[in-house]
Structure 1
Amino acid sequence: MNIPDTLIWLLNFPAAHGYAMVFIAGFSLFGLFALSASGATPGSALRRVREREGLLRPEHAKRGRWGGRLVRIVFRVLTVVMLANLVIGILSLTGVPVTRAYIYEHGQPTTGTRDGDWITFSTASGVEYTVESNFFTPAVYPDRDAYLSGDQVVVRYLPSHPQAYVIDSSQGPR
């Protein structure tokens, strides 16, 4: 397993599900931004009141701050990941081949069958995969708007991650 194929495989999920990813990331970013703010950790308002009134013991003062910082760091990392997924989803919806060009260049070709929005193909090792080709972000490359007629299609997939695939629009089935 090589690292570029794994990264493309990870990036391919938000690219292949662009419509859903835009809505999921768009709405979840509001909550993640709020949770990554300094006053969002549970008990932080009560802690500030206790510190102001002098009711917080010195040995308890540092313990709560580290937990709050850790929570904010985790939510800030999640915010960055969701923001990246939002950008990938928007690019995929507008027709930018975020991962498709890499999969096309480095993928192994095979013949598959198309049944509505589902593509079924077998890898060189004999494992059969049935994966979705989303209507809003079709897995077609190099011509994204190509009309696919018939049930047979040529599929290029990454050998180490067959879920990352494209339908080759430049050639028909072999």
Structure 2
Amino acid sequence: MNPMDTLIWLLNFPAAHGYAMVFIAGFSILGLFAMSVRGAAPGGALRAIREREGLLRPEERPRGQVSGRILRIVFRILAFVMLGSLVIGILGLTGVPVTRAYIYDNGRPTTATMDGDWVTFTTAEGVEYTLESNFFSPAVYPDRDAYIPTGEPVVVRYLASHPQAFVIDSSQTPR
């Protein structure tokens, strides 16, 4: 398995679902960053009050600090992943071929059919895939605005190790 193909496959999801990723990431980033700050851990405010009032014994080791730190680190990582997904989603919506150029250059060609926003193709291994190429971020390369007729055969290029990452080859469509 090619590591670059796997990376492109992972990046292709937010690029291919740009509209949904902008909303999902946009609404979740603030919550994830809020959960990653020190005061967001459960019991933190109560511990601060007990320390201020002198109700904690000096020999009592504070508990929950390690798990709270790990939780904050996990939320920070998730927040940055969602921030990256937001950027990739916006780029996909604006027509920047974040992953499509790589898939076009390194993908295996095969014929496919379009049925509305759905593309159906069979890989060289004989597995049939029906995947979405939505209106807002269509999986078409090199000409993103090319007219792709429904029901007509088109050429699709897909990554051999990850067929879910595909592009419709607009240079080989009927004109």
| TM surpasses 0.5 | yes
2:108·2:158 contact (CA, 8 Å) conserved in 1? yes
Residue 94 of structure 2: aligned partner = 94
Equivalent-residue separation in structure 1 for 2:39 and 2:134 (angstroms):
40
Cα shift readout 1:90-142 (whole Å, capped 9, x = no counterpart): 00000000000000000000000000000000000100000000110000000
Equivalent-residue separation in structure 1 for 2:56 and 2:173 (angstroms):
73
RMSD between superposed Cα atoms in Å = 1.1
Equivalent-residue separation in structure 1 for 2:116 and 2:148 (angstroms):
11
Instruction: Report the 3-state secondary structure (helix = DSSP H, G, I; strand = E; otherwise coil) of the residue aligned with 1:112.
Output: strand
Q: Cα distance, 1:78 vs. partner?
A: 0.4
Cα shift readout 1:9-64 (whole Å, capped 9, x = no counterpart): 00000000000000000000111111011100011000111111222233331x22
Give the count of matched residue pairs.
172
Residue 140 of structure 1: aligned partner = 140
Normalising by structure 1, what TM-score?
A: 0.96
Matched, 1:110 2:118: no
Matched, 1:2 2:2: yes
Instruction: Report the 3-state secondary structure (helix = DSSP H, G, I; strand = E; otherwise coil) of the residue aligned with 2:23.
Output: helix
Normalising by structure 2, what TM-score?
A: 0.95
Equivalent-residue separation in structure 1 for 2:60 and 2:141 (angstroms):
61
Instruction: Report the 3-state secondary structure (helix = DSSP H, G, I; strand = E; otherwise coil) of the residue aligned with 1:162.
Output: coil
Q: Report which stretch shifted further, 164-173 or 79-88.
A: 164-173
Kindly report which structure 2 residues correspond to 1:115-134, keeping only aligned pairs within 5 A, or say none: 115-134=115-134
Residue 64 of structure 1: aligned partner = 64
Residue identity over aligned pairs, in percent, reads 75
Residue 46 of structure 2: aligned partner = 46
Provide structure 1 residue ranges, at least 5 long, that are not aligned to the other structure.
none
Equivalent-residue separation in structure 2 for 1:106 and 1:67 (angstroms):
44
